[in-house]
Structure 1
Amino acid sequence: MTRKILVAALISAIIAVLFVAGCTGEQPSTGGEATVDVIYSATGPMPMLLSTDQIDGYMAWQPFVAVATVSGIGKVVSYSQDMPPAGMWTDHTCCAFAARTDIMQERSDLVNALSALTIAANDYIKQNPDKAAELSADWLYGKDDMTFGNVTVNSVNVLKASIPTLKFTSDPSEAWIQSNDNFVVSLRELGYITGSLKDADPATVNSELFDFGPYEQAKAMLANGSITTPANAGTIALGYLPSDHHAALFVAVKDWQYFNDTYGIALKPASEGSGAVDTADLIVNGEKVATVKLVKGEGGSQLMTLAAQDTIQFAFVGTPPAITAIDKGTPIKILHPLQTEGSGLVVSADAPANDWQSFIAWAKQRAAEGKPLKIASPPKGSIQDVQLRAALGDSNVVVNEAQ
């Protein structure tokens, strides 16, 4: 245990040094420093920005990494788990299942049932990746082609390339918890944690962030082959993002009959058809126990605002937005992971970079020429932003926040 504490402390110290040393914001360039311009952008436009030479690359979550490779727009320099510092991001935290604390107290049986369905859906994805890709492409794009400027790509092909690069897991392992601890340190250095977690020790942080009781109850029910039927909960709402990171929701709804027949629990869509679903019936052991509104968000911070307002009671959301929301007093808990990894750094197809080392060499060359690389990233404090900044800092490259 002492060794684990020492290792955790060392990792946290490394991240803190990286951010203090020059990757937490716009830094003045001093003679000879390599710089990269980071442009904050929504993920959707990134492939078009790359295909029209408005940026040199982007750091994004799936399926936008696969969009680049399948369409030929770009190529992957590094997947997120392989980025520097070496070994820092293996199995790194990404999206999780979260719930408001009041519904956890008042409807624990409902929370346990939804956790069980999520765990079962993750198992389904691992066993049926191509089917999961098709169902996710149906939900996200109606299986239609995806168009970025003059580039068109088949959405099913994109999702079939994307799904295998994610690790779908519901296990809140020690490594996963440590990864969240690392992000807490990073978010503090970025100035995004200013509330209850700012000066809290690791044990207090974890107590504030997590409640693994529903996960344990769900695992036990699945192992016993019987889901406890919750009391009727009326209408509830679950928020999600339009990304295959949340494929567990998509497959649970799109193939609801399988889950009903196999586990005795299902999210039956109010209407069948192609595309996203906005309302479903939660059915357990043949009994409808809730009407579930499925609320699409545009970002994790937006979902956390909806949770704070009690507009949604559950969320599939990235752990950093959940962490910052809890820090500010939003009454939620992270229950268990949805998946880990699943992001990457993409550059144009003709770029003189095929891995991290050649990317850094290219960045230094462009900086020396007075034309720093322009790399798009999701908003500050996102998983992708934190990882990109840490990797560049580890490689002695300064981040400039481009306008």
Structure 2
Amino acid sequence: MTAYLCLGTTAVLLWFPEPLSLPGGMSLVTPLMTFGLFFAVRGVRSRTYRLLDVTAMRFATIALMCGAFVLLWSNLSIVSAPEPLRSGRVIVTHFSGAALLLLLYATFTVERARTLIGLTLVLAAFVSLLSLMAYFNNTLFAILFADRDRSNGFFKHSNQYGIVLSTVAPVGLALALSARKRLVWLALMGSTAFGFIAAGSKTNLLIFSASSSFLLLCAPLLERNTTMRVISFLRNLGLGVGVATLGVVGLTTFNPRAVRILGQFFSDDDDVKSLLSRKELWDFSLDQFFNHPFFGQGTGQMIPIDYGDGFISHSHNVIVDYMRMLGVPGLAVCLVLLLAAIFALCATIHLAYVARGARYDHRLMTMGLALGGLAYIGANMSSDSFGPSTSPFFWLVTYLALFMRTVLIREHAAQAARKTDLHFGSIQFGLPARKGLP
């Protein structure tokens, strides 16, 4: 119970990384997770069944091995670095992954997972509503927007806030489509969606549009009969059109600059430049990689390019960033981790589709969790570079998705066994087989 309490408190505090920040990339969440590990060990030992299937176990093993290697290579790469304490940024990222794996393994049940997701979405909705209120309150505006036109939430930058929203939003939408009390989940999702408008992160707006469209189109395919599939498709079509309309109206009203940015996504105009603005960062990072191919520039070291807010802490691309910081070994470990994550998450989406004997809401929740992990990876191709304030959300949705694999497999197998028992029972007693059974 103590481990679960630590996990729930962690889920709350993750939404306030900037106020709770500590030197070296850490925050107060890091010692809290460390404290929770002492109680998680007992929960892991008391498990009566294996929670990870083969696919999930392979990814967890790869993630832990990559984290251990990064810890070793980070300490070697900063021997001659000007700011060795900044290596904590990368170390904390991988430590949080290992800590959340143990905490979730020790406490996981489907209901607890749903509660944890609900708590995360309540915080997402809370911060988004504060951003809405900030438009009408100068004090809140100064705190959340830092006198700009984009909300940071309680993160350092609006892009980080947008990444977190695009990571948790798919599972929120999945629950709004399938769980009990759908109106409550829909209200939470509506409030959370305003955060995208306030953050004005064009990349994450597009990623959320893609992930939500995919989920709305795939959800009807998980229904068990044609009638429900048609009804679900029409409902989701109406919901998608409604959300898109409200989104455009909201953007036009509260963040018109974001509309202009989306309309000129690849423009090199100084005010709205997007991917092209990353070129200078990527060029510098690649130069560091070629100049220091073995150890790189050093873990967590700053990029001496100033756009008005001081030097940049990352390359705005997770692969390029690991190349810059850790050289060829960093590039290799980053590619291995990302490819393993993409494979595991895509396999989980496929499992959610084919496990027709499992509960509909569990299948859709699993799909939403997996989409959140993929959304995070996609966002990190042009933004946060797997930073310590956003990566815990990736680990959270990814490991929950992988734990749900076992739930789906067990439910599907149990349903298949029931069908087999009914079939052979009908033959034994001379009863007609029930319709729909083999």
Whichever structure has more strand as a proportion of its residues is: 1
TM (normalized to structure 2)? 0.24
Larger radius of gyration between Structure 1 and Structure 2: 2
Greater relative contact order structure (CA < 8 Å, 6+ sep): 1
TM-score (norm 1): 0.25
